[in-house]
Amino acid sequence: MSPSRPNPPASAVPTAAGEGGARTRARRVERGDTLRERLRSKVHGLLAFLANSIVGHIPVRWARNLFYHHALKWEIAPGATINTGLKIFGGRGKVSIGRNSTIQIECLFAGVGMADLRIGENVAIAYRTTIVLGSHDVHSPDFSGVVSPVTIEDYVFIGANAIVNAGLTIGRGAVVASGAVVTKDVPPGAIVAGNPAKPIGQRRTDLAYSTESYWFMH
């Protein structure tokens, strides 16, 4: 998705990937033609540039969180950590990160701010994970952009280099193995792996830990 597109009015269109899975229907992205919409698009592009080029490399958690909360309008609960190197493409708002959840280094949120991204409490998202909220309708004659929300419930663990596609819910306590490509909803407690990700096990349900990160200067 382009970092300069505004939050759109949209109509429902089917997503291009994950056919056969339980997915939220995507919304078509309409380009804004008014002066206000064009200016908003430029502001979003500038904020994404600052986040990716400067803020994401500041080695102090509270400073990064301050920018994400006030400039990008994200909801960040106490104890939540967004580590260095996060890349974002999209707009402002529509992101909530629950208490004590940790997003490790060099993750990518694509289409952020254009559809809801809800991350629950005590979620651990490992290095270089990609969360996709926006894509394109490959059946559209103009290759229209489409966006869909992603929900990651409490106590989910997502391994390094995993990809979570748009329109999905990862249920409470589920585990996504490193390098997995998630194309369907993941049931609570399920352990999934592979491309496309498939169940390989089940996790216990009595989870009661904290994933709050205490790393200094990270």
Burial of 99 (0-12, 13-18, 19+ CB in 10 A): middle
Strand 157-158 with 124-125, pairing: parallel
Tokens of 213: 């990160």
136 part of the active site: yes
Question: How remote is the C-alpha of 218 from its chain's centroid?
Answer: 20
Q: Which of 44, 136, 139, 218 is catalytic?
A: 136
Count of residues in the chain: 218
Nearest to 161 by CA among 174, 147, 178, 149: 178
Tell me how far CA of residue 49 lies from CA of 57, 85, 122, 150, 210, in angstroms: 12, 13, 29, 23, 32
Q: Would you give the DSSP letter of residue 136? A: E
CB 131 within 8 A of CB 218: no
Give me the active site residues, please: 136
